[in-house]
Structure formats: C-alpha cells, structure tokens
Amino acid sequence: MQCPCGCGETIELMIMEGVYPRWDIQTDTRNRPTLYPSVWLKSGCRSHFWLRKGRVVWCKPENCV
C-alpha cells in the first residue's frame, strides 16, 4: 500500500504467518480491512496510523498509546 500521507512511500505489510514484524488483518462483513497493530514508519515521514474498517485513522499523541 502507499503511505496515506502522500509522501509516495510504499509500505510493505507482512501479514504472513511466522514473519515478524507482522500485522493481523481482519475484514468485516463489508470487506473493509482492519489492521492490528498500528502502522508506524520508523523512517521517512514517520507516519503513524491505524487502518480501521478500510479507513486511515491518524495517530495523535492524545489518542495513541
């Protein structure tokens, strides 16, 4: 997927079993993906966000632990 901030970075999410770090992906009844845990780019734009029900939810200090 492309970084949602618009910087053009490609984020590779590894959701295969046995690979670390990895993310769990769940899709709801309308096929909208939810990722756990949050995605945090350690380099580049350092975006930190959640993907919940197909929507990007930006992590802000007050709602993000």
Between 6 and 18, whose beta carbon lies closer to Zn ion? 6
Residue for token pair 């966000």: 49
Query: Measured between alpha carbons, how far is 29 from 32 in angstroms, rounded to an integer?
Result: 7
Please name the amino acid found at residue 53. Answer: K
Give the shortest CB-59-to-Zn ion separation in angstroms.
13
Closer residue to Zn ion (CB): 36 or 40: 40
| 1 binds Zn ion, rule: CB under 5 A | no
CB 37 within 8 A of CB 20: no
- Residues lying near Zn ion in the complex (CB under 5 A) are found at 3, 5, 7, 9, 45, 47
